[in-house]
Amino acid sequence: MKSVGSSPRRGGGLGRVTGHQQYLADIKLPDVLQVKLVTLPVARAKINSIDVTEAEALPGVAFVMTSADLPQPMPRFGPQFQDRPVLADGETKYHGEAVAAVAAETKEIAEEAVRLVKVHYDELHGGVYSVAEALADNPLLVQDPKLRGDSPLAHTNIIDEKHFGWGDIDSQESDLIVEDTFQFPMVTHFAIEPHGFMAAPDGDGIEIWSTIQHPYLLQKIMAKLLDMPLAMVRVHAPDPGGGFGGKQIPKLEPLIAYMALRAQRPVRLILTLDETFQTVRRSSAEVRVRLGFTENGVFTFQDIETNFLVGAYVDIADRVVSKSSYSAAGPYSVPAVKIIGRTIVSHTTPSTAFRGFGIPQISWARESVIDEAALRLGVDRLDIRLRNLARYREEFIPLEEADGDWEQTVRTAAKRIGWNDPLPPNRGRGIACGMKSGPTTGLSYSTVRLLYDGSAMVYAGTSDMGQGARTVFAQIASDELGVPLENIAVVMGDTAVVPYDQQTSASRSSVLMGTAVQRACQDIQGKVLTMATELYGINEDAVKTVGGRLLLPDREVTLTEVMQEALAPLGGEVIGNGEMRKEKDPNHPLGGTAAFFEFNCTASEVEVDMETGHVTLIKHVTVGDVGRSLNPKQVTAQDDGAAIQGLGHTLMEHYIFDDAGRVRNIGAIDYRILTSMDLPLEMHSESIENADGPGPYGIKGVSEGSLLVTAPAVGAAVREATGKVIRDLPLTPQRVWEALQEDENGS
């Protein structure tokens, strides 16, 4: 029976739901020191001195780590710019930035000692908390120009300004031009498992445990910081309990590593949920969109300016800006496009990758402005999208082609929502389209071992943080080797055991690592085929490999049977290696073409309580072009999950700051995410499957599509119900009510 295309029980699923899975925090290291961070109750402060005497005198405290205990100058790191210090360097640049860390025998002692650390500091007044403040004349500079190298923008808060586009927007003749600016709030990933870090000296090297999505990136960064060979840095990456991009890039691992080396003992830091708010977030954005149309609603041009407020250190945010801005015009065929994208630093929590990677911010603005144009032109909001959608295989962005029948996706969503059905009172519908570029480069290796008894082990450096990578890799191996799923072990999360994988991001793993696994299995098939030719004295041409079986001239044998016969009596195994590269393209502005696009159409029907502003989601439909569902249940679950996460930033999630740059709603009480009771009354996630993707069996990546355009779909539905355009997210009851109070003049 074929495993691919079915939905077997999830690998590791039982452990997750019964509490047996060993998350990082469940791993007990002997003789471990517990770490707690010392932070300040202000956003910006100049640190004058830190007195650790009293804290270190507390019985059970090993030491307090301050910046003075680190190599000088302060070591800095980051995936793109080496701007993040291991500890605050003389100054805190955002609320919650650690200035010191206590190592103690127990967490309770560490907590007690944190209160005894005397940080003498002066609060620095004023700060850059908004795009306007960052771009003001003679702004306060968030980053020291000396750290900006030879950047011509070193004396601004702009890390980089990207210019993309094609055609000449000024020479286009338009019947209608619509312009508007939309805001997208700061939101956090809210993975149920908070970030955790452990480190232990290991001879001349170091072992690090992290909830990281990219163990090999962590290994590389640590080797460089500690000046150790890669072989001496071993990263353990147990399956994270949710990542969503927030666990891609190293954060506090360097601090923990320096502390372990100082202590010459294992050390451990598990963040609280509150601390994760001050560790990761999505970049907020202000997006200005100017669109030109013919009277029939056909695009004449798009002019888009994105200003992303990325926080105090750049992390991976500059890549978020370039990648999302590059495809800011969306899945449409547009004759002329001009895009300016800015990466802007601020005195706020550093932002990082987050499911959707910048696209939700831009599509919120673009799709909302398309709706405005449709209404003014008297064109149906579905039709205006269908008229402009890029055709299958059309080069709709230079060097990028539409890799799916996107019209089929849109029509499916429209049908599912009942686009033309009559609307009951106080109801509205919205529809929106978006797409996100998959990985532009990639490198994944896999090793697969067919063991003597016919079971198999798959080694894959992907992190399974809930997306189900373990299951799909096992499914691929099962079909390719003819080994039952339950006899396959998938080994992940240890750089000393599992070969290199670039990263777990951009919905890449099924496509890239999946291909590497498939190729490793094919390597085994080839080796077994050679065994068969030798065993049976036949020619290679006389044998055909189908899945896990060999078709000999006279009979059919399994790979396992051939292997066992060939390897007897000593036993042994057959080892296969697979590699998947997605090479760089130096001519591409992003350094490479998209391996695939995640194209999604979301349609939503809402009912608005006109007295209170409460929005009830009556029906929410997302349809994605997935190429093919390797595991339909997992694909649907991914889409459901993404849609729900998107409904969070659409309806209720946002950081609230006070005037001094402090986050006021840290934690689960006043930062609200959806509960099961807040879900749409009806929810559908569907897949379009034309087997036209680059991955094994024609798959494309999935997991981000369903939140790319949640906000504009729901926003359009609220607009239809209320007649009001709301330009800020989330669409809280209060914000909808306030919009309802506005008169026709908008005041």
Partner 1 sequence: MNRFQYARPETVAEAVALLEEYGDDARLLAGGTDLVIELRNRWVEPKVVIDLKHIPELTPSITVRDDVLSISASTVMTDIAEDELVQRHFPALVEAAVVVGSVQIRARATLAGNICNGSPAADTSPPLLVYDAVVVIAGPEGTRRTPVDDFIVGPGKTSLGRGELVTAVELPIPQRPFGAAYTRLTRRRGTDLASITLCCGVDTDGHTRLAYGSVGPRAFLEIDDTGTLADPSVSIEEKVAPLDQLFHRASPSPKSLRASPDYRLAMLRVLGARALETALGRLTKEQV
Q: DSSP assignment, residue 707? A: G
Report CA torsion sign: 171, 174, 180, 186. Answer: negative
Interface pick for partner 1 out of 174, 408, 487, 665 (rule CB under 8 A) = 665
**95, 349 Cβ separation under 8 angstroms:** yes
To 5 degrees, how large is the angle CA 261–CA 50–CA 96? 80
Across 311-323, b (16+ Cβ under 10 Å) vs e yields bbbbbbbbbbbbb
Number of residues that bind partner 1 (CB under 8 A): 21
Instruction: Provide the minimum distance between the beta carbon of 652 and partner 1 in the complex, in angstroms, as a whole number.
Output: 6
CA 484/CA 490 separation, integer angstroms? 13
Instruction: Provide the minimum distance between the beta carbon of 675 and partner 1 in the complex, in angstroms, as a whole number.
Output: 3
- Nearer to partner 1 by Cβ, of 407 and 678: the residue is 678
Instruction: Provide the minimum distance between the beta carbon of 23 and partner 1 in the complex, in angstroms, as a whole number.
Output: 21
Instruction: Provide the minimum distance between the beta carbon of 157 and partner 1 in the complex, in angstroms, as a whole number.
Output: 28
Q: Interface with partner 1 by CB under 8 A: which range of 34-42, 237-245, 296-304, 727-735?
A: 727-735
Instruction: Provide the minimum distance between the beta carbon of 616 and partner 1 in the complex, in angstroms, as a whole number.
Output: 9
Interface pick for partner 1 out of 166, 392, 452, 737 (rule CB under 8 A) = 737
Q: Binders of partner 1 among 255-294, rule CB under 8 A? A: none
Strand-strand pairing, 337-345 and 299-311: parallel
Interface pick for partner 1 out of 76, 290, 633, 672 (rule CB under 8 A) = 672
Instruction: Provide the minimum distance between the beta carbon of 711 and partner 1 in the complex, in angstroms, as a whole number.
Output: 17
Q: DSSP assignment, residue 397? A: B
Instruction: Provide the minimum distance between the beta carbon of 312 and partner 1 in the complex, in angstroms, as a whole number.
Output: 23
Question: How many other β-carbons are positioned within 10 Å of the β-carbon of residue 22?
Answer: 11
Instruction: Provide the minimum distance between the beta carbon of 197 and partner 1 in the complex, in angstroms, as a whole number.
Output: 23
Q: Binders of partner 1 among 90-109, rule CB under 8 A? A: 108
- Nearer to partner 1 by Cβ, of 454 and 680: the residue is 680
729 binds partner 1 per the rule CB under 8 A: no
Q: Interface with partner 1 by CB under 8 A: which range of 258-266, 353-361, 562-570, 664-672?
A: 664-672
Interface pick for partner 1 out of 204, 422, 569, 669 (rule CB under 8 A) = 669
CA 726/CA 156 separation, integer angstroms? 31
Separation of first and last alpha carbons in the chain: 65
What's the chain's length in residues?
A: 747
Q: Which of 193, 207, 32 is nearest to 110 (CA)?
A: 32
Single-letter amino acid, residue 94: Y
Q: Which of 235, 236, 211 is nearest to 222 (CA)?
A: 235
Question: How many other β-carbons are positioned within 10 Å of the β-carbon of residue 296?
Answer: 11
- Nearer to partner 1 by Cβ, of 18 and 676: the residue is 676
Across the beta sheet with 337-345, what order do the strands follow?
158-166, 337-345, 299-311, 284-293, 176-184
CA 567/CA 268 separation, integer angstroms? 46
- Nearer to partner 1 by Cβ, of 52 and 617: the residue is 617
Q: Which of 388, 415, 373 is nearest to 331 (CA)?
A: 388
Task: Give how far the C-alpha of residue 656 lies from the chain's centroid of Cα atoms, to the nearest Å.
Answer: 23
Residue 306 has, within 13 A of its CA and on its CB side, a CA count of 35
CA 653/CA 287 separation, integer angstroms? 19
Across 562-585, b (16+ Cβ under 10 Å) vs e yields bbeebeeeeeeebbbebebebeee
427 binds partner 1 per the rule CB under 8 A: no
Instruction: Provide the minimum distance between the beta carbon of 649 and partner 1 in the complex, in angstroms, as a whole number.
Output: 14
CA 701/CA 357 separation, integer angstroms? 14
554 binds partner 1 per the rule CB under 8 A: no
Interface pick for partner 1 out of 18, 72, 676, 747 (rule CB under 8 A) = 676
724 binds partner 1 per the rule CB under 8 A: no
Q: Interface with partner 1 by CB under 8 A: which range of 471-479, 541-549, 561-569, 665-673?
A: 665-673
Alpha helices in 442-567 (DSSP H): 469-481, 512-536, 559-567
675 binds partner 1 per the rule CB under 8 A: yes
Instruction: Provide the minimum distance between the beta carbon of 610 and partner 1 in the complex, in angstroms, as a whole number.
Output: 10
677 binds partner 1 per the rule CB under 8 A: yes
167 binds partner 1 per the rule CB under 8 A: no
Q: Interface with partner 1 by CB under 8 A: which range of 27-35, 344-352, 572-580, 726-734?
A: 726-734
- Nearer to partner 1 by Cβ, of 57 and 656: the residue is 656
733 binds partner 1 per the rule CB under 8 A: yes
Instruction: Provide the minimum distance between the beta carbon of 2 and partner 1 in the complex, in angstroms, as a whole number.
Output: 40
Give the CA dihedral 338, 343, 344, 350, nearest 10 degrees: 150
Q: Which of 607, 638, 600 is nearest to 621 (CA)?
A: 600
Single-letter amino acid, residue 619: K
678 binds partner 1 per the rule CB under 8 A: yes
CA 583/CA 443 separation, integer angstroms? 8
Interface pick for partner 1 out of 26, 144, 395, 738 (rule CB under 8 A) = 738
- Nearer to partner 1 by Cβ, of 457 and 740: the residue is 740
Interface pick for partner 1 out of 119, 169, 460, 674 (rule CB under 8 A) = 674
Q: Interface with partner 1 by CB under 8 A: which range of 150-158, 159-167, 187-195, 729-737?
A: 729-737
Instruction: Provide the minimum distance between the beta carbon of 735 and partner 1 in the complex, in angstroms, as a whole number.
Output: 9
743 binds partner 1 per the rule CB under 8 A: no
Hey, which bits of 359-502 come out as E strands?
427-437, 442-451, 456-460, 488-491
Across the beta sheet with 267-270, what order do the strands follow?
61-66, 100-104, 33-38, 267-270, 196-202, 205-210, 233-236
670 binds partner 1 per the rule CB under 8 A: yes
Q: Interface with partner 1 by CB under 8 A: which range of 134-142, 548-556, 563-571, 667-675?
A: 667-675
Q: Interface with partner 1 by CB under 8 A: which range of 287-295, 569-577, 671-679, 713-721?
A: 671-679
Q: Interface with partner 1 by CB under 8 A: which range of 118-126, 359-367, 522-530, 731-739?
A: 731-739
Q: Binders of partner 1 among 640-659, rule CB under 8 A? A: 651-652, 656
Please report where in the chains the tokens 């601020």 appear, as a residue.
346
Instruction: Provide the minimum distance between the beta carbon of 655 and partner 1 in the complex, in angstroms, as a whole number.
Output: 11
- Coarse DSSP helix, strand, coil percentages of the chain, rounded to the nearest 5 percent: 30, 25, 45
Q: Interface with partner 1 by CB under 8 A: which range of 530-538, 543-551, 662-670, 685-693?
A: 662-670
Instruction: Provide the minimum distance between the beta carbon of 121 and partner 1 in the complex, in angstroms, as a whole number.
Output: 22
CA 201/CA 204 separation, integer angstroms? 8
Q: Interface with partner 1 by CB under 8 A: which range of 62-70, 306-314, 473-481, 663-671?
A: 663-671
CA 719/CA 717 separation, integer angstroms? 5
Instruction: Provide the minimum distance between the beta carbon of 506 and partner 1 in the complex, in angstroms, as a whole number.
Output: 31
Rg, the chain, Cα only: 27
747 binds partner 1 per the rule CB under 8 A: no
Q: Interface with partner 1 by CB under 8 A: which range of 275-283, 362-370, 456-464, 732-740?
A: 732-740
Residue 222, token pair as written in the block: 């640590």
611 binds partner 1 per the rule CB under 8 A: yes
CA 240/CA 191 separation, integer angstroms? 9
80 binds partner 1 per the rule CB under 8 A: no
612 binds partner 1 per the rule CB under 8 A: yes
Interface pick for partner 1 out of 97, 269, 732, 739 (rule CB under 8 A) = 732
DSSP letter for each residue of 273-326: HHHHHTT--BPEEEEEEEEEE-TTS-EEEEEEEEEEEEESS-TTHHHHHHHHHH
- Nearer to partner 1 by Cβ, of 194 and 578: the residue is 194
Residues lying near partner 1 in the complex (CB under 8 A): 108, 611-612, 651-652, 656, 664-665, 669-670, 672, 674-678, 732-734, 737-738
